[in-house]
A and B are shown apart, each in its own frame.
Chain A
Amino acid sequence: DTAVSQTPKYLVTQMGNDKSIKCEQNLGHDTMYWYKQDSKKFLKIMFSYNNKELIINETVPNRFSPKSPDKAHLNLHINSLELGDSAVYFCASSPLGGGYNEQFFGPGTRLTVL
């Protein structure tokens, strides 16, 4: 009954490859996010989707493309992987309404690019 789940947990791949990370939430939330946490633990938002529509797209290379087939899923596809893409990627979700934006995070996907 995991609230926000991600697959895979670990991903090791070569430079130049294309890979995807999947995220699903069963909380009934309307908004989902992708964050990148670098080696210094700095957490930065990449994308935000509200009910399948992109609402935030921070300065992220266009090799990164989010896809939301429905409001419970937000996948992240990365083309032509580079060494600098190595990081932990977290998916999160939050409800609309309630007047605030508490986010619930998935377990993370540790991506290593060799």
Chain B
Amino acid sequence: ELKVEQNPLFLSMQEGKNYTIYCNYSTTSDRLYWYRQDPGKSLESLFVLLSNGAVKQEGRLMASLDTKARLSTLHITAAVHDLSATYFCAVEGNTPLVFGKGTRLSVIA
């Protein structure tokens, strides 16, 4: 059974700082997705990673995938308040998507 673990689950960071969210998964997969959810809102697709070594960047966020280590990272550069949200990784296995528990990010001044 595919299991997906994210850490940290809660992250409070200062504006301007850098940080990384980690997503580990338990069985072989080369398809991983990152989503953002604002409070009371739906999930918005951020990144689709489809192969080992894939790297995608959008603004202050950069996601990467290492399928051999079964690890994806979401790196935040020079955080701003607008990045405050919950970030989910999701891995495609035998079922369409298995989601991590989410990382609740708060960016404070």
Contacts and interface: CB of A to CB of B under 8 A. Distances in A.
Interface of A: 31, 33, 40-45, 48, 56, 58, 90, 92, 94, 99-108
B48 A100 contact: yes
Interface of B: 31, 33, 35, 37, 41-45, 48, 50, 86, 88, 90, 92, 95-99, 101-102, 104
Given A41-B102, A42-B101, A100-B48, A94 B41 contact: no
Nearest to A4: B42
A87 to B, nearest CB: 14
10 contacts: A31-B96, A33-B96, A41-B86, A43-B43, A100-B31, A100-B50, A101-B31, A102-B33, A103-B90, A108-B42
B88 A43 contact: yes
A55 to B, nearest CB: 9
B42 A43 contact: no
Q: Which 5 A-B pairs have the closest CB atoms?
A: A105-B43, A43-B99, A105-B42, A107-B42, A41-B102
Nearest to B44: A105
A81 B86 CA distance: 29
Given A42-B101, A90-B42, A100-B48, 13 more contacts: A33-B96, A41-B86, A43-B102, A45-B96, A56-B95, A56-B96, A101-B31, A101-B92, A102-B33, A103-B33, A105-B42, A107-B41, A108-B41
